[in-house]
Structure 1
Amino acid sequence: MNLCYLDNTEVVVLFPYDAELIASIKDTIPQGNRRYDKSKQSWVVQLRKYGAINEQAIKALEGFLKAHDFKQHISVRNYLSDLREKLAEQDEKKREIYKESKASEAIVEVEGLGGELRPFQKAGVSYLSKRGRAMLGDEMGLGKTIQAIAAVVHSRAYPSLIICPVSLQLNWIREIEKWATGKRVSGEAEKDADFVVVPYSQLVKHEQLLKKGTNWKSLICDESHYLKNRKAQRTKAVRSIAKGIPHIFLLTGTPILNRPSEFITQLQILERLNELGGWKHFTERYCDAKQERFGLNINGATNLEELNKKLRNTCYIRRFKTDVLKELPDKQRTIIEVKINNRKEYETARKGVRQELALLKKKSRERTQEIMSELEELTAKEIKERWEELFPNDKIPKYNDKRKLKRGIEARLQRRETMVENSEGVLLVNRLKILAMQGKLDSAEEWIENFLESGEKLVVFCEHIEAQHKLFEKFAKNGCAILSSMDTAERQASVDKFQTNDKCRVIICSLGAGGVGFTMTAASNVLFVEMGWTPAMHDQAEDRTHRIGQENAVTAYYLLGTDTIDKDIYNLLETKRSVVSAASDGKEVEQGTMVRDLLDKLAGFDEQV
């Protein structure tokens, strides 16, 4: 006899061994809602998990029981009836959650946060905190990192494990130090801290330590499209680590509705897939599952409007720049710090540059002192003759005051020292700039790949030909370029392609050749892999996207090699930019002042350079 009875809140389905019935229950009821209990020698169905009633599972169970003529205990009928009544309340709650997933503001105060959130970011923190296990899919530039940190702080969900691409590890650490004030943060899996930031590349190596070594209260997976392949070792590791963690936040800029199948594993990590009907229902309903010659094809996309609504009232929040445009500045700059992979070579060069600079300064000073000593024994007439030899293009003074003549020569010699040091210094600084560029190119490639997953377009600026060519070679399939070797017609053709061709997602530009004169408003995001010498050079490059016709706020990302000359150049650019803005009435800062300041830092043995 086929029986069905209630055991606490679980429905027990009992029947003699029957291969067809076993296949039917597996095929009908979502996998996450049913299991075989050996002790009872029966199937057990859970219709409620994490406080949520699964309507799909109820329908499936009722259909299965009716189709196979099961005798239901009165407690089962009452339980199913009770769940259906509660479904109405749950549906109302889901409508509220759906509204919250699109909210542009919320009343939430996060104690212990080291900054002020924008209204739409508060709404994001509220959604994540309430849902507990959710996906934050905001468009690039809206601060997903900050919202996730704030959600952990607000929920007091420590210790927190953050898993991210290696190119973003330092950025996460820097943002946690800024926003989670007073909290300990570490980039090493072995360390005890409030926040531990581990790159995907080290995940498998430290899986057992991360799984058993700490009782995590929250897990954040950045760029969670890294977890789309269910067979990948890192995906298996994350699924294993995630079990039992109450707060799980997945961050991705990739539109989930473009490729629903790629989000199945992410929904499994969140333990939300069953709320969407389980694997079979999800693939059939939303992935257009079709049995083909080589197996089941689930790469399609169907019923997307319905999926979007179900995701939003379950575990998904996504806002666009256009939704919150009034809250964003017209243009904002973001630093991305990355480790360089040629640290030993860079440190050797840094030491050599300092030594060469010290020698250069010493020789310049000695030459000036030597000439000034010679002048002590000369008459005014002889000093004028020496003036003409040293500075043939200068007008010789008419006065005969020896002290005044010597001061004039000394001032000119010192200016010459500065010019020589600057010209030589540019070569020395450029040596460090090139090494910093070479050391972060792999991280630049990874960052760009992650960004392009969002479906948005990107403008990339590089200074050196090596960087331009390597990145263009990497992204030539779905990109174009503006290089110094191109003529005007070729450059304009690249711009036209970028502006009009949806498949052309990234344009790699020479900072000199692509930084002026062109309109690239198809993108609202700019990445500087390298930096030039003046604020105006970067302002002009940023303004290729920040022009008439741009409907979004523009975000400029600066990729800086940690503990390299990059940080000093960026800081000096910002200082010079504020000076120009506040005091110079728009007058340009000369390259020489930037070089001079960098050389002063080097000469002072500043540890940052």
Structure 2
Amino acid sequence: ILKELIALCKSGKISMIAADEVHKMKNPSSQQGKAFLKLNADTLIAMTGTPLMNQPMDLYIILKWLGYEKHGFYQFRNHYCVMGGFGGYEVIGYRYLDELQEQLNQIMLRRLKKDVLDLPDKLHVDEYVEMTAKQEQIYNEVKAEIKMNIDQIKMANNPLAELIRMRQATGYTGILSSTIQESAKLDRMEELVEEAIENNKKVVVFSNWTQMTDAIYARLHKNYSTAVITGQTKDSERQSLVNKFQTDANCKVMIGTIGAMGTGLTLTAGTVEIFMDEPWNMALKEQAEDRCHRVGTNENVTIYTLMCKNTIDERIHDLVMQKGAMANAIVDGKIAIKNNELLEYLLG
């Protein structure tokens, strides 16, 4: 396909390329990144709904493709990023962001959804639940094990990944245990879905992990017609599942992972969204929220975020919602602030 596109561009049959969701092009060393940079036409337009300013490395491919960045990736990185850590290879901070912002201001046409669309409101509800005794036992065991190995975790390439088991314990213990399979979140999710459907509303349920979406499906599919989109869903099936949810009155629930269902899809038939857990980055959550809250939305969209009390859930929510600058400094799980500071905060 790439060779055909390049040939069509060179022959003049393609004179304009408009690339949507271009923020997904982050790694210039990946096959996707290398291929994208080979595409060229008389007019190039890069489109994204996700703010990128606090992650300068993510902007490299976009600026390079548009012709505004003349340097190589490592020169770009070393100019805008403060390097340190083990061997001096870790990004520990950013600099010259005002310079980068000025460049963006000269080439970017930015329109906020609230300024150009007259949409119904988003109603956010933080829903706190109490873990069962056995669920709390699993959570505390996982937390204790992580604290025992904290020195190794601090040295890991991606320390946040080491905390996934704590997050999964608040979601469904069956992911971690074959004998204890309990979940206060799943219990509350069932109640919210039942209430919404009784009020003739459709529901969209998000999680970060397929193990969690599997558990959600197991709880719901016996009582409701559901559709599921995860990273395991074939591309050829995705649109048919979306169409089913959008047009089939009997299909009441759409379940999916934030990674697979959080961008690029229109799910405006849904007016209730439930987040079983949150991504690290607010922009990713807003993208997922906007699957329902977009052109075609006719009603207010109610968005529930489920959190277990006194757990890592609350700290992540605080990190994402209240500490925007800190959250935006986390790039693909890599911490751009002091590892110790964030880990201690999350484990507190």
User: Fold-level match, TM-score > 0.5?
Assistant: yes
Among candidates 346, 358, 370, match of residue 151 of structure 2: 358
Instruction: Look up the match of 1:522.
Output: 269
Instruction: Look up the match of 2:170.
Output: 436
| Mapping for residues 216-227 of structure 1, pairs under 5 Å | none
SS at match of 1:334: strand
* TM-superposed deviation, 1:345: 1.3
**2:256 aligned with 1:509:** yes
Instruction: Look up the match of 2:341.
Output: 600
Instruction: Look up the match of 1:483.
Output: 230
Identify the structure with bigger relative contact order (alpha carbons < 8 Å, sequence gap 6+): 2
Letter of the 2:216 partner, please give it: L
Q: Distance in 1 between matches of 2:282 and 2:139?
A: 26
| Mapping for residues 84-99 of structure 1, pairs under 5 Å | none
Q: Distance in 2 between matches of 1:516 and 1:491?
A: 12
Q: Distance in 2 between matches of 1:421 and 1:429?
A: 12
Q: Distance in 1 between matches of 2:162 and 2:314?
A: 17
Q: Distance in 2 between matches of 1:488 and 1:601?
A: 37
Among candidates 456, 462, 476, match of residue 207 of structure 2: 462
Determine if contact 1:535/1:589 at 8 Å carries over to the other structure: no
Among candidates 302, 306, 317, match of residue 570 of structure 1: 317
Q: 1:595 to 1:553 in 2, by over 3 A?
A: farther
Determine if contact 2:122/2:293 at 8 Å carries over to the other structure: yes
Runs of at least 5 residues in structure 1 that lack an aligned partner in the other structure: 1-325, 362-419, 581-586
* TM-superposed deviation, 1:471: 1.4
Letter of the 1:421 partner, please give it: A
* TM-superposed deviation, 1:547: 0.8
SS at match of 2:204: strand
Determine if contact 1:358/1:603 at 8 Å carries over to the other structure: no
Q: Distance in 2 between matches of 1:558 and 1:432?
A: 17
Instruction: Look up the match of 2:100.
Output: none
Q: Distance in 2 between matches of 1:596 and 1:449?
A: 42
Q: 1:599 to 1:522 in 2, by over 3 A?
A: farther
Q: 1:527 to 1:428 in 2, by over 3 A?
A: same
| Mapping for residues 101-112 of structure 1, pairs under 5 Å | none
Instruction: Look up the match of 1:134.
Output: none
Number of corresponding residues = 216
* TM-superposed deviation, 1:575: 2.9
Determine if contact 2:120/2:300 at 8 Å carries over to the other structure: yes
Determine if contact 2:189/2:274 at 8 Å carries over to the other structure: no
Among candidates 321, 324, 331, match of residue 122 of structure 2: 331
* TM-superposed deviation, 1:422: 4.7
Among candidates 243, 252, 269, match of residue 496 of structure 1: 243
Q: Distance in 2 between matches of 1:597 and 1:452?
A: 45
* TM-superposed deviation, 1:606: 5.2
Q: Percent identity?
A: 29
Q: Distance in 2 between matches of 1:546 and 1:605?
A: 31
Q: 1:429 to 1:599 in 2, by over 3 A?
A: farther
Instruction: Look up the match of 1:421.
Output: 156
Instruction: Look up the match of 1:590.
Output: 331
Q: Distance in 2 between matches of 1:597 and 1:560?
A: 26
SS at match of 1:505: strand
* TM-superposed deviation, 1:498: 0.6
* TM-superposed deviation, 1:516: 0.7
Q: 1:605 to 1:333 in 2, by over 3 A?
A: closer
Task: Write the deviation string for residues 467-519 of structure 1: whole angstroms up to 9, x where unpaired.
Answer: 11121233234221112211122111111011101111110011111111100
Instruction: Look up the match of 1:473.
Output: 218
Q: 1:474 to 1:330 in 2, by over 3 A?
A: same
Task: Write the deviation string for residues 362-394 of structure 1: whole angstroms up to 9, x where unpaired.
Answer: xxxxxxxxxxxxxxxxxxxxxxxxxxxxxxxxx
Determine if contact 1:468/1:508 at 8 Å carries over to the other structure: yes
* TM-superposed deviation, 1:593: 6.0
Q: Distance in 2 between matches of 1:541 and 1:605?
A: 24
Q: Distance in 2 between matches of 1:446 and 1:597?
A: 40
Letter of the 1:558 partner, please give it: T
SS at match of 2:149: helix
Q: Distance in 2 between matches of 1:552 and 1:597?
A: 43
Instruction: Look up the match of 1:16.
Output: none
**2:139 aligned with 1:346:** yes
| Mapping for residues 3-18 of structure 1, pairs under 5 Å | none
Determine if contact 1:461/1:508 at 8 Å carries over to the other structure: yes
Runs of at least 5 residues in structure 2 that lack an aligned partner in the other structure: 1-117, 173-182
Q: 1:588 to 1:344 in 2, by over 3 A?
A: closer
Letter of the 2:305 partner, please give it: Y
Determine if contact 1:526/1:542 at 8 Å carries over to the other structure: yes
Q: Distance in 2 between matches of 1:516 and 1:360?
A: 31
**Which of the two has higher C-alpha Rg?**
1
Q: Distance in 2 between matches of 1:508 and 1:333?
A: 19
Determine if contact 2:206/2:257 at 8 Å carries over to the other structure: yes
Q: 1:531 to 1:599 in 2, by over 3 A?
A: farther
* TM-superposed deviation, 1:349: 1.2
Determine if contact 1:441/1:467 at 8 Å carries over to the other structure: no
TM normalised by structure 1 equals 0.33
Instruction: Look up the match of 1:60.
Output: none
